[in-house]
Amino acid sequence: MEPTPIVFMILAMVVIWGSLLASTVFLATRPEVATWPPGGPTDEEDAALDDID
Amino acid sequence: MAARAGADPEARPHWSGQMGFVLSAIGSAVGLGNLWRFPAVAYENGGGAFLIPYLVAFFTAGVPILWLDYAIGHRYRGSPPLALRRIQRRFEALGWFQVGLNVLISLFYAALLAWSASYFVFAFTRRWGADTETFFYDTYLRRPAGAGFNLDFVPATAGPLALVWLAVIVIIALGVRRGVERANVVFIPLLTVAFVLLVGRSMYLPGAETGLDALFTPNLHRLLEPSIWIAAYGQIFFTLSISYGIMMTYSSYRRRKANQTTTGLVVALANGSFEMLAGIGVFCALGFMAAKEGSPIDHLVGDSGAGLAFITYPRVVSEMPSSAFFGVVFFGSMFMAGFTSLLSNVQVVVASAQDKFNLSARQAALFVCGPMAVFSLLLFGTTSAFYTLDVMDHWVNNVGIVVSAVALSVLVVWVARKGRELTYHLTVLSTLSVGRIWRSFAGTFGPFVLVVWLVQWLYSTYANGYHSYPRWFLIADGWGAIAVCGLVGVVFTVLPWRSQPDDFTPWPEFSPQVAQRLAHWEDTLLDLSADDPFEAGEK
Amino acid sequence: MATKAKPKSTTGIDGRPQWSGQVGFIISAIGSAVGLGNIWRFPGVAYENGGGAFLIPYLVALLTAGIPILFLDYAIGHRFRGSAPLALRRVKRWLETLGWFQVTICVVIAIYYAAILAWAISYFVFSFNQKWGDDTGGFMYGSYLHLADTPGFSFDFVAGVLIPLALVWIAVIVVMALGVAKGVEKANIVFMPTLAIAFLILVIRSVFLPGAKDGLNAFFTPDFSKLGDPDVWIAAYGQIFFSLSIAFGIMITYSSYRKHRANQTTPGLVVGFANSSFELLAGIGVFSIVGFMAHEQNVAVADLSGLKGVSLAFVTFPKVISQMPGSALFGALFFGSLFAAGFTSLTSILQVIMAGIQDKFKVSERNSALMVGVPLAVVSLLFFGTTTGLYVLDVMDNWANNIGIIISAIIMTICVLWVAGKYKELAFHLSSLSTFKVKWTWLVLVGIFSPLLLIYMFGQVMYNLIKSGYDPSSYTRAFEFKAGWLVFILMVAASIVMTFVRWKEDPDKFEAWPGFTGKEF
């Protein structure tokens, strides 16, 4: 391959795949907000479904 | 009276009485379409047999939708944006869409009137000569070879066009009663007399009976073709001036206690009668022409539009014994029929501006009609006028008005569920009651037929285009016109009101108790011994 | 989080089906976004629009329109907890019609999407012995599809297509009947990693083919002069828009199956970038193979044709595969990937329809799978099991995508945010639940920039369609009207009718959580 295309290929990979990686990492580190708005069903309630089966 | 229209329903201008309203409504319904569209449509679609689908369409779609217009305009007392807003806020946009349609129709309708006025003058000397086609397109309109837009003004058309607008502005400025109603009170009887004379005389032309044979010979087997029925619904729909705000506006100027359905029936039938008369007159003349030239009549019918009026008819007139009479009366009638229709179109625009921006009739005439006159001259005072007009006319009628009608029925009857309330309104005020049957025709059957019409129109236009115009021109002039109306609908709805449109209670009150009585009455409609539940009302 | 050893249930407290967790949702959402378009549309579009330089408009489009609209879908579906018709009705009563319109788009797409999957299955089998021979075009259109000479509607069935098509429908109905968690999610969890691995093997192998570097050169060489061409930008927005599966109900439906406290925007970013990543991978693979083909035929890459769409997958590729060492494996990998990518998208499309029916008529997942799947299968077989299938497919595809989805997106962005005035509430919803906060930037992008751009695109599409027709060299305008506009009109009519049908249970008895008074924003 020639240099310019290589640069662009790498650029594309870095930017797009990199963003995927970055966003995945971001999600992994902060999967959910730490402080929830008050009210609404709790996680326990949401999980109460466990007993339905 | 002060023509200031605002929140107070009593400040609204009024007709002098039922007669003034009926004449004005007839003036609006009877227009150029009656003269040059009906004869050709009837001829092409089964001749005498066309009467059957025509009447069916008349009673199943024309009259019911006309009544719907009346009921909305009268109960909610306003121009389309105001009346529709009072049904449900968002419907105001449909009202402005209808205003947009009326603006565009006014722009080109004025041009057709200017042409009629010119031909009225030409008729005295038969200036069109032997080759009426070349005269119309080249000498008079100076039409260029290809469709497009340009700004090469033609004094011979721009001059009369300016005069037409001047007359419109003066009459509108005088207000509903002193302007619009007076013009109709003068023109409509005059038109009737002139046209009856013309048709009566035409029947004695040699060859007239062959023309009438052609028009009335029934091709009963053609009744099985769906296209004939579609054509009948189209004709009824376009000829009655329904569903795009005119009848709404006109009926909003009536007294609070005003007979609704019966007047509607009168107006619709008057329109149909005039159409029939025009058919007879035109075909007598064509029969005469065919006899003179020794050619079959269908060669002459070719065009159902402007061509019939400005090319075929002048040619016939030149051949006639006392040709100044025929020409002058024909084009004079055409001008009168068209002028009263134009006034109604402009009145919708003016009334809407008055309602929203709290203007007097004089201010509205100036600020609304002035700019319209300028645009009319720019678009239709030029050499490209014919093309622009032809395409815009075709789209505004076939797409704009049909869409408006479908939206009106569906929104009012189905979305806002006002069917019963309007039934009550029509019934309690009128000498002719309506019920479920009316609701199903105005709310379900009518829109259904129109959707079928629209789909078949879209199909043929998408597949075949329109005449031989380039597609870009159809998009710019046809779809562009529809887009402009849509834009008007959105923009003017967003602008703030300078009056209090929502400070309003419809009369007579439609309380739950009344609704129950109405339902009971509808259930026992065929039971003649049942009491009239409404006689206790204020009627 | 409550982590219990018990098996997870498949419905939430409100009786709505639920994903097993965040990962299940993300994988399913990626499965939906990654579809046939990624494999056969992106490479060609990028190549035609500036090659390497296309990266710039592509990324801009992803960030300024794709992801913002994706967030909007998530926010609507999750806050108002419903299928497209239910959630949009809860935004504003009359928007229910838009919801049904999105459902009808899915109906149209589903019936032709299944047909392409059927072809992929056939070709998967054909690839074992390269049954397509030398004349792959002749094979595809002649021996396989028995394509009629003129476009139209016929009922001459082609057994070779009919049977795999029936199989696709049976498989998909079974998966749908198992429900969101046990069917759709499981299918995605099986198919997506398989797809990733298979496709990666395919791409790596193809990069080492002789001539691959010429193809990659052609693909990545930047033509910066193209950046001044507005059409290139429009193409980028179009590509992003169609490849992300946004604005026609899928993402609304999928996010309604998440639990109440679910991170919104960050998974959205992951899904968006995963889709683009796969697209890029597909570009590399496709152009390596294209380069190999050019090398074999001794021509320049620029002189090759058939680099997009059906002909890329079913005509150009088979030809290359025959010339490659290890053809059978390579072919099986390619068509297997195509099938896997398409199958997960098809399930998501059907889920939109089923969810709408479930919400409106309160039927079970199993019953709705039959109510929706069987009639669609019949229609799909009638249309696409015949000799004229390809023509109908081509036209319907263009209308559903270019007209239907764009209209849906324009109405949704403008009406939900501005007419219904939900802009603050939705921004609040996204921000309060998510680890990646959005506010005014998002609102400007999704509420102003995107609709304006989409209106422009729509105007351009309409202008060209009316002026020149869709493909005047292949179809009469009458045929285009019937397969395109008439179908579109029926879609609108069906949406209106469905809006007037009575709900089995009151849909408006609902309170959005977390509560929003207007001050929180």
pLDDT of C239-283, one tens digit each? 998 899 999 999 999 999 999 889 999 999 999 999 999 999 999
User: How far, in Å, CA of B467 to CA of B480, rounded?
Assistant: 18
Q: Name the closest residue on chain C to residue A4, using Cα atoms.
A: C221
B462, C481: Cβ pair inside 8 Å? Answer: yes
Q: What is the 3-state secondary structure (H, E, C) of B422-491?
A: HHHHHHHHCCCCCCHHHHHHHHHHHHHHHHHHHHHHHHHHHHHCCCCCCHHHHHHHHHHHHHHHHHHHHH
A6-10, B314-318, B531-535, C185-189: which range is least confident on average? B531-535
Greatest Cα pair distance in chain A: 61
In this structure, which amino acid lies at residue B347? Answer: Q
Select from A4, A6, A7, A9 the residue whose CB has the most chain C CBs within 10 Å, as the one to mutate to test that interface: A9
Residues of C in contact with B409 (CB under 8 A): none
Residues of chain A with C-beta less than 8 angstroms from the C-beta of C262: 32
**The pLDDT value given to residue C8:** 52
Q: Which residues of C fall within a CB distance of 8 Å from B464? A: 477
- Phi-psi label, residue C515: left if phi above 0, alpha if psi -120 to 50, beta otherwise: beta
**CA–CA–CA angle B401, B407, B411 (5° rounding):** 150
CA–CA gap between residue C352 and residue C123 (Å, rounded) = 28
Q: Would the pTM of this model clear 0.80, i.e. be above it? A: yes
- For B455, the closest of C476, C477, C489 (CB atoms) is C489
Q: Is C405 part of any domain?
A: yes
Answer whether C489 touches B (CB < 8 Å). Answer: yes
Total domains present in chain C: 1
Kindly state whether residue C455 falls inside one of the protein's structural domains: yes
Q: Residue A33 and residue C216: Cβ atoms within 8 Å?
A: no
CA of residue B86 relative to chain centroid, distance: 24
Q: Which residue has the tokens 């506006």?
A: B249
Contact C481 B458 (CB under 8 A): yes
Whether pLDDT at A50 is above 60 = no
Which of C482, C486, C500 lies at the smallest CB-CB distance from B414? Answer: C500
For residue B448, give the chain C residue with the closest CA. C493
Residue position matching structure tokens 């509108």: B172
Q: Give the lowest-confidence range in B535-539, C232-236, C328-332, C481-485.
A: B535-539
- First-to-last alpha carbon distance for chain B, in angstroms, is 27
User: Please, which pLDDT band fits residue A44 given cuts at 50, 70 and 90?
Assistant: low
Per the CB < 8 A criterion, the answer to whether B105 and B94 are in contact is: no
Band the pLDDT of A37: cuts 50, 70, 90: low
Q: What is the mean pLDDT of chain C?
A: 91
Q: Is residue C506 part of a domain?
A: no
pLDDT surpassing 70 at residue C318: yes
Query: Which whole number is the average pLDDT over C44-69?
Result: 92
Beta-carbon separation of B459 and C486 below 8 A: yes
C54 is a domain residue: yes
pLDDT at C492 over 80: yes
| Distance between CA atoms of residues B461 and C229, nearest Å | 33
* C:112-151 residues touching chain A, CB 8 A cutoff: none
- Tell me what pLDDT residue B47 has: 80
What value does the mean pLDDT take over residues C183-201?
A: 95
Interface residue of A7, A29, A33 to substitute, partner C, most C CBs within 10 Å: A33
Q: Which residues pair with C386 in a beta bridge?
A: C157
Q: Look up the domain containing C135 and give its range.
A: 22-500
Q: What pLDDT does residue B532 have?
A: 54
Nearest CA in chain A to C257: A46
Peptide bond preceding C514 in cis form (omega within 30 of 0): yes
The domain that contains C427 carries what CATH number?
A: 1.20.1740
Any residues with CB less than 8 A from the CB of C128 and at least 6 apart, and which? Answer: C328, C331, C332
C contact residues 187-216, partner A, Cβ 8 Å cutoff: 213, 216
Task: Find chain B residues with C-beta within 8 A of C482's C-beta.
Answer: 459
Residue C11 in any domain: the answer is no
Which residues are CB-neighbours of B537 under 8 A, at least 6 positions away? Answer: B428, B508
Count interface pairs A-C at CB distance under 8 A.
141
CB-CB under 8 Å, C261 with A36: yes
Q: Spell out the residues 6+ positions from residue C481 whose beta carbon is closer than 8 angstroms to its own.
A: B458, B459, B462, B463
Residues 6 or more apart from C3 whose CB is under 8 A from it?
none
- How many of the other CB atoms lie within 10 Å of CB of B182? 17
Q: Do B471 and C468 touch (CB under 8 A)?
A: yes
- The alpha carbon dihedral of C90, C96, C100, C102 has a sign of negative
Question: What pLDDT band is residue A46 in, cutting at 50, 70 and 90?
Answer: low
pLDDT tens across the length of chain B (539 residues): 344 444 444 578 999 988 899 999 999 999 998 888 888 888 888 888 888 899 899 999 999 999 999 999 999 999 999 999 999 999 999 999 999 999 999 999 999 999 999 999 999 999 999 899 999 999 999 999 888 888 999 999 999 999 999 999 999 999 999 999 999 999 999 999 999 999 999 989 898 888 888 888 888 888 888 888 988 998 898 899 899 999 999 999 998 888 888 889 889 989 988 888 898 898 898 899 888 888 887 777 656 677 888 998 898 888 887 768 889 999 999 999 999 999 999 999 999 999 999 999 999 999 999 999 999 999 999 999 999 999 999 999 999 999 999 999 999 999 899 999 999 999 888 888 888 999 999 999 999 999 999 999 999 999 889 988 999 999 999 999 999 999 999 999 999 999 889 989 898 889 888 888 888 888 776 554 545 555 544 43
d(C-alpha B404, C-alpha B242), whole Å: 10
- Tokens standing for B334? 């055409």
Report whether B35 contacts B309 (CB < 8 A): yes
Q: How far apart are CA C499 and CA C251, in angstroms?
A: 21
CA pair distance C12, A42, nearest whole angstrom: 12
Q: Tell me which chains share at least 3 CB pairs under 8 Å with chain C.
A: A, B
Three-class DSSP labels, C201-223:
HHHHHHHCCCCHHHHHHHHHCEC
Residue by residue, DSSP assigns B70-126 as HHHHHHTTSSHHHHHHHH-GGGHHHHHHHHHHHHHHHHHHHHHHHHHHHHHHHHHHT
> Is the CB of residue B267 less than 8 Å from the CB of residue B22?
yes
A19, A21, A30, A42: best to mutate for the C interface, most C CBs within 10 A: A19
Determine contact: C500 vs chain B, CB below 8 A: yes
> Whole-angstrom Cα distance, residue C84 to residue B367?
46
The answer to whether residue C4 sits within a structural domain is no
Q: Show residues of chain B in contact with C411, CB under 8 Å.
A: none
Distances (CA, A) of B337 to B33, C220, C235: 10, 69, 53
Q: Do C468 and B472 touch (CB under 8 A)?
A: no
Domains in chain B with CATH codes: 9-418+452-499 (1.10.4160)
Residues C190, C182: Cα–Cα separation, whole Å: 12
Which is nearest to C99 in space by CA: C327, C462, C353, C304? Answer: C353
pLDDT for res A45? 63
Alpha carbon distance, N-terminus to C-terminus of chain A: 58
- Mutating which of B475, B479, B490, B493 best tests the C interface, going by the most C Cβ atoms within 10 A? B475
Handedness of CA C340, C342, C348, C351 (dihedral sign): negative
What single DSSP character describes residue C315?
I
pLDDT band at A41 (very low <50, low <70, confident <90, very high): low
Nearest to A41 among C51, C260, C432 (CB): C260
Chains C/A: 3 or more C-beta pairs closer than 8 A? yes
Backbone angles phi, psi at C167, to 5 degrees: -65, -45
Residues of A in contact with C269 (CB under 8 A): 19, 23, 26-27
Please give the biggest Cα pair distance in chain C: 69
Any domain includes C511: no
Q: Kindly state whether residue C10 falls inside one of the protein's structural domains.
A: no
The chain A residues in contact with chain C (CB within 8 A) are: 1-2, 4-9, 11-13, 15-17, 19-20, 23-24, 26-27, 30-33, 36-41, 43-53
Q: Which residues pair with C51 in a beta bridge?
A: C222
Whether B223 contacts B308, CB under 8 Å:
no
Lowest mean pLDDT across B256-260, B358-362, C60-64, C448-452: B256-260
- Structure confidence at residue B3 (pLDDT): 41
Q: Contact A16/C276 with Cβ under 8 angstroms?
A: yes
